[in-house]
């Protein structure tokens, strides 16, 4: 089940100060988020722009630096804030899969030496 039913919301794209340039934002890749996997990252009903994600079983899941199940490899970063209503199912979201990322501005900690599958320039 996906959150494709019509609804009206008013909020912006979130804090995108983590983007070091606009490079990569024009070709964001659509990823599917399962709200249950993101429960620890949901603040005020939203997952913040800039959250790093890994791909597991076809779903974008939170990046986990100390894991060994594939979630320790960054596949991308959420481009915009995502409103979450767990009762409505999965969420289609834009993910940046390459570009310049300012680590100090991300909502979650990512080391400059983090494993990645995208083409990112990770800056302090």
pTM above 0.75, yes or no: yes
Tell me the DSSP string of the chain. Answer: -BS-S-----------TTBSSSTTGGGPEEEEE-GGGGGGGEETTEEPTT-EEEEETTEEEE--TT-SSSTTEE-EEESS-EE--GGG-BEEEEEE-EEEEEGGGSSS---TT-EESSEEEEE-
Assigned token pair, 105: 């501005």
pLDDT digits (tens, 9 = 90+) for 54-106: 999 999 999 999 999 999 999 999 999 999 987 888 999 999 999 999 999 99
């Amino acid at each position: 089940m996906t959150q494709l039913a019509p609804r009206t919301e008013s909020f912006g794209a979130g804090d995108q100060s983590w983007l070091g340039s606009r490079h990569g934002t024009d070709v964001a890749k659509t990823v599917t988020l399962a709200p249950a996997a993101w429960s620890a990252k949901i603040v005020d009903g939203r997952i913040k722009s800039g959250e790093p994600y890994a791909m597991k079983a076809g779903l974008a899941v939170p990046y986990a630096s100390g894991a060994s199940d594939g979630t320790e490899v960054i596949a991308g970063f959420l481009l915009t804030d995502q409103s979450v209503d767990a009762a409505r199912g999965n969420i289609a979201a834009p993910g940046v899969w390459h570009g310049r990322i300012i680590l100090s501005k991300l909502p979650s900690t990512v080391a400059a030496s983090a494993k990645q599958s995208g083409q990112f320039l990770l800056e302090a």
